[in-house]
Amino acid sequence: MNENYASIYEAIADAMPDAVALVQGDRRVAWRALDERAARLAGHFAKAGLRPGDRVAIVLWNSVEYVEALIGTAKARLTPVNINYRSSVNELRYLLEKGEAKGIVFHRSVGGTVAEAAAGLKCLLAVEDGSGVAAPAGSVDYAVAIAAATPAPGIERGGDDQLIVFTGGTTGMPKAVLWRHSILVSLLTRNAAIPASTPDEIVSRATSARRDGAAPIAFILPPLMHSTGLLGTLGALAQGGTVVFSGSRSLDPDLVWRETKRERVKSMTIVGDVFARPLLDALRRLDPAEARASAASLKTMQSVGVRWSADVKEDLLEFGDIALIDVLASSEGGPVARSETTKSNKQVIAKFELIPGTWLMDENGERVPFNSGRVGMLVSAGILPEGYLGEAGDGKSGTFRVIEGRRYVVTGDWARAELDGTITLIGRGSSVINTGGEKVYADEIEKVIAAHPAVADVIVAGVPDPRWGQVIGAVVAIRPGAAMREDEIVAHVGEQLAGYKKPRKVRFVETIERKATGKADRQWATELLASSR
């Protein structure tokens, strides 16, 4: 067997055909059915004229069809291209052109956008989602296509087959990150207790884990269009597990706990405070015994790359003996650091342990010694993708570099090497606010404001200022029933941070706007603050 996730999933389906692979609401899809439907989709792609190496865009919400599209494209040796379903016409057109897509699988809800942006594509598959939006001219109904297609036969596939993931575009237009299957397969088993070293070993361990009741039952809440949800899903399947998607398109915390209890979910992937606070509030609404029963099966809860406050973690631990795992990662290089909080080991927020192969680099390109108290940028030589599509780079600058003869990803995340051997995350370079010559990290101030019991959510951003260059602004959402004034926000920050880090502008809103990944939409915050008097 070769290092191709489609081939690995075929072997797992052959080994345990009746085991449940996917759950969404009332839908329960066994491995045999998943494999057959993915093979039919591959057959449809071939009949539509797509050939190995062609790229197929996926513009879907989390769904069974999303996983079928990921596997079906790989079965046909096509390249899936993950695209944000919130894209505008111009953005989608750009992403389709950048990704050189020849086909697209999409939910009907975005049919109008697809109709304008996807003209000329060979294959348009519209997935019914109850939205009532008409499918674009020239498209084919997904369910009809699956039913009519002849399943593609099993074929030899290579580890050089590809998957493309677009970044979130937090510092400009999204970039296409190119992963090869041989690298992906290594990444997918990295979180296993003992990572497998060969495809045959992956299948053997997946089968044994399912037989012994040790296979993961993973509730994936973040969107699959980004790396956290995508790799979490593919990884759980590679371990022979069951992946659970919510029956609701948007976060419904009460439903999440009902489904967690029903499916006996073992692990849950979330998006920091954005998901954790509503989930915590939902548990608090329940009778204490029912709340503990709802979370009883949960062994781990994991968040990647978004603020997850210490008070929220501590409160979640009241409802179960859960390992709360905070991971620092990116689409460009997978995980680089992690922090684990349990009842017996309550970690301070943002303190991480580096994953082997990761270190800190100062502004001069030199290594920052551990236990030094100095600040540097996180650099990782972990499991890395090929790079950005269409951007070779010189290896000396940018995100992907060769340093001391080894290839690294320069993450853009800044951290401090603490005296106790841990690191404290300060923030991304893109979140730096330069106010009067002082560099301030928005993330650092956000953590302080978010820890206040009256605050539901917050985004800190720099606001243009003729005197100071930028001043610090905060957009704050207050928890229901609570009250807070601007001067109280400022005083709260001043109690914990230097005076120059106190916000000069505060804007209160009912709801904070965030990207689909849960990451801060600082452009929105800046524009809102700039328009405030």
Buried b (16+ CB within 10 A) or exposed e, 375-402: bbbbbbbbbbbebbbeeeeeeeeebbbe
31-180 sits in which CATH class? alpha beta
Strands lying side by side in the sheet with 455-465: 455-465, 469-478, 505-509
pLDDT in tens, 3-22: 899 999 999 999 999 999 99
Instruction: Give me the pLDDT at residue 396, please.
Output: 76
Question: Tell me, what DSSP letter sits at residue 76?
Answer: T
The residue among 180, 47, 116, 78 whose CA lies nearest residue 106 is 116
- How far is the C-alpha of 520 from the C-alpha of 141, rounded, in Å? 36
Confidence of residue 190 (pLDDT cuts 50, 70, 90): low
Instruction: Give me the pLDDT at residue 430, please.
Output: 63
Cβ burial, residue 483 (10 Å; 0-12/13-18/19+)? exposed
Strand partners, 358: 380
pLDDT in tens, 314-350: 999 999 999 999 988 877 877 888 889 998 887 655 5
For 221, the token pair is: 């809440």
User: What homologous superfamily is domain 251-426 in, according to CATH?
Assistant: ANL, N-terminal domain (3.40.50.12780)
3-state DSSP call for residue 512?
coil
pLDDT in tens, 344-400: 887 655 578 888 889 999 888 899 998 899 989 899 888 888 888 888 777 777 889
| CA atoms 441, 443, 446, 451: torsion sign | negative
In the chain, where the domains are located: 31-180, 251-426, 436-530
- How far is the C-alpha of 89 from the C-alpha of 76, rounded, in Å? 28
Q: Which residue has the tokens 């990572």?
A: 195
**Helix, strand and coil percent figures for the chain, each rounded to 5:** 35, 30, 40
- How far is the C-alpha of 304 from the C-alpha of 269, rounded, in Å? 8
Higher pLDDT, 73 or 521: 73
Average pLDDT, the chain: 89
CATH fit for domain 436-530, picks 1.20.120.350, 3.30.300.30, 3.90.1150.10, 1.20.1740.10: 3.30.300.30
Give the largest Cα separation in the chain, rounded. Answer: 68
- How far is the C-alpha of 184 from the C-alpha of 231, rounded, in Å? 9
Q: Residue 118 pLDDT > 80, yes or no?
A: yes
Entry pTM: 0.85
Parallel, antiparallel or unpaired: strands 334-341 and 79-82: unpaired
3-state DSSP call for residue 155?
coil
* Spatial contact of 91 and 114, defined as CB atoms under 8 Å apart: no
Same fold, 251-426 and 436-530: no
For 462, the token pair is: 């720099």
Percent of the chain at pLDDT exceeding 70: 95
Instruction: Give me the pLDDT at residue 122, please.
Output: 84
- How far is the C-alpha of 478 from the C-alpha of 513, rounded, in Å? 14
* Spatial contact of 31 and 140, defined as CB atoms under 8 Å apart: no
For 319, the token pair is: 């409802």
3-state DSSP call for residue 293?
helix
